[in-house]
Structure 1
Amino acid sequence: MSKILLIEDDLEMQEEISEYLKNFGFEVDFTDNPIEALKIFKNYELIILDLMLPKMDGFDVLKEIKKSDIPVIISSARGDIGNKITGFELGADDYLAKPYEPRELVLRINALLKRKNSTIIKISDFTIDKEKREVKIDNYPIPFTQIEYEIFYYLIKNRGKVISREQILHSTSLHPDTQNRTIDMHISNIRHKIGDEPKNPKYIKSVWGIGYKFL
Structure 2
Amino acid sequence: MSKKTILLVDDEWKMRNLLKIHLAKQYVVIEASNGVEALAKFTANIHLVILDIMMAEMDGWEVCERIRKESNVPIIMITARGDIADKSQGFGIGADDYLVKPFDVEELLLRVNALIRRSTTGRLKNEVAIGNQLIYQDLTVNMESRSVKANGSNMTLTPKEYDLLLYLLSNPNKVFTRDQLLDQIWGIHEVLDYRTVDTHIKNIRDKCKKMKLSFNPIKTVWGVGYQFEWVKDSI
TM range (shorter): 0.5 to 0.7
- The amino acid that maps onto 2:134 is L
* Correspondence for 2:228: none
Change (3 A) 1:161 1:99: farther
1:81 corresponds to 2:84: yes
Count of residue pairs the alignment pairs up: 153
Aligned to 2:133, the other structure's residue is in SS state helix
Contact 2:133/2:141 (8 A) holds in 1: no
CA distance in 2: counterparts of 1:17 and 1:75, whole angstroms: 12
1:136-177: CA deviation from partner (whole Å, max 9, x where unpaired): xxxxxxxxxxxxx725x83216x6755344x89xxxxxxxxx
Change (3 A) 1:163 1:3: closer
Aligned to 2:124, the other structure's residue is in SS state strand
Change (3 A) 1:127 1:84: closer
1:11 corresponds to 2:13: yes
* Correspondence for 1:154: 133
Long gaps (5+) in structure 2: 157-161, 167-207, 214-235
TM-score by length of 1: 0.63
1:96 corresponds to 2:104: no
* Correspondence for 1:39: 40
1:72 corresponds to 2:75: yes
Task: Report the alpha carbon displacement of residue 127 of structure 1 after superposing the two structures with TM.
Answer: 5.7
CA distance in 2: counterparts of 1:160 and 1:100, whole angstroms: 32
Give the share of equivalent positions with the same residue, in percent: 37
1:61-117: CA deviation from partner (whole Å, max 9, x where unpaired): 110111211110001112211100000000100000000010001100111011101
- The amino acid that maps onto 2:135 is I
What root-mean-square deviation, in Å, do the aligned CA atoms of Structure 1 and Structure 2 show? 2.8
Task: Report the alpha carbon displacement of residue 34 of structure 1 after superposing the two structures with TM.
Answer: 1.1
CA distance in 1: counterparts of 2:127 and 2:142, whole angstroms: 22
Task: Report the alpha carbon displacement of residue 202 of structure 1 after superposing the two structures with TM.
Answer: 4.3
Change (3 A) 1:118 1:154: farther
Task: Report the alpha carbon displacement of residue 45 of structure 1 after superposing the two structures with TM.
Answer: 0.5
Contact 2:93/2:144 (8 A) holds in 1: no
Change (3 A) 1:160 1:22: same
TM-score by length of 2: 0.58
Q: Which stretches of structure 1, 4 residues or more, deviate above 2 A after TM superposition?
A: 159-165, 201-208, 212-215
Task: Report the alpha carbon displacement of residue 41 of structure 1 after superposing the two structures with TM.
Answer: 1.3
* Correspondence for 2:202: none
Aligned to 1:4, the other structure's residue is in SS state strand
- What pairs up with 1:172-191 in 2 under 5 angstroms? none
* Correspondence for 2:151: 203
* Correspondence for 2:143: 163
Aligned to 1:44, the other structure's residue is in SS state coil
Task: Report the alpha carbon displacement of residue 119 of structure 1 after superposing the two structures with TM.
Answer: 1.9
Aligned to 1:120, the other structure's residue is in SS state coil
Contact 2:77/2:97 (8 A) holds in 1: yes
Change (3 A) 1:88 1:120: closer
Aligned to 1:48, the other structure's residue is in SS state strand
- The amino acid that maps onto 1:150 is I
Change (3 A) 1:113 1:90: same
- The amino acid that maps onto 2:89 is T
Contact 2:93/2:143 (8 A) holds in 1: no
Change (3 A) 1:63 1:111: same
* Correspondence for 2:171: none
* Correspondence for 1:187: none
